[in-house]
Amino acid sequence: MTLTIKNIKSYRLILSFLFSIFIHSLVFALAGYLLNHRLDKLVVNTVYVEFLDKESSNFSKNEIVDQKKDEMNLMKEVKADQRKTDAYFYNFTETDYDTSALMQIYKESTLNVSLKYPKGWTYLDQNLKDKLDGITFWALEGDYEVPPYIHLDVCDKYIFNRSRFKYKFNNKGRIYYYSDPEELEGHITQIIYIRTDSDEDYSIKLIVKGKETFKSFQPVFFNMAKSFNFGKSFF
């Protein structure tokens, strides 16, 4: 009877040991399965994220390329419009010097400035510290919504900025700098800057409303600028 009980106990120990091994094996197998399944998911997600990153990168590059193309096309259109505008107006260097329409002469003594201006125009000059500071000429005759006017300004030499001007032209030993006319709210403006070897420089500006009117006054403006003299130089 005692032997039988011992046998039973030994049998139970063996069963418990085998059951424990089975449970541990099952736990390890389940853990291994879950771990492998999780790694597979991670790999798939990583690949998916990389795929999305590549797609996003490609999309961004394509978007940048398209944007640059649009900007280049816009620049081409602007340049084409600018060429049309430039071709429409007269060119200062290619306009013949003709003072037949300039029947009046302005002269002053502080800087010995003189220039010719059209008949039917008047002027107002301003002095600063007993020296000429500027002159404004404008049309009295003619049917204009806004009378055309030309302003001559006496400039300090340090304000000259070569980058503001597109062209230059030598005339009577001085250099004329100018750019193409500019339009703002229907008013066309063109500036000619006269660089001198004296203490002062000069700028002459034409402002007219409307392209057709501006173009009709451009030759007058150019000839007034070419007739300009200062210092000891007189007509």
pLDDT at 144: 83
Distance (Å, rounded) from C-alpha 26 to C-alpha 32? 10
Distance (Å, rounded) from C-alpha 172 to C-alpha 154? 18
The dihedral over CA atoms of 120, 126, 131, 133, expressed in degrees to the nearest 10, equals -90
Q: Does residue 14 sit in the same domain as residue 52?
A: yes
Question: Residue 26's domain spans which residues?
Answer: 1-88
| Average pLDDT, integer, range 42-55 | 49
Q: What is the CATH number of the domain that holds 180?
A: 2.60.120.1690
pLDDT at 80: 43
Does 104 have pLDDT greater than 50? yes
Q: Does residue 120 sit in the same domain as residue 177?
A: yes
Residues facing residue 229 across a β-bridge:
114
Lowest mean pLDDT among 31-40, 90-99, 156-165: 31-40
| Average pLDDT, integer, range 8-31 | 62
Does 79 have pLDDT greater than 60? no
pLDDT at 143: 82
Q: Does residue 116 sit in the same domain as residue 150?
A: yes
- The total domain count for the chain is 2
pLDDT at 203: 97
Distance (Å, rounded) from C-alpha 194 to C-alpha 196? 6
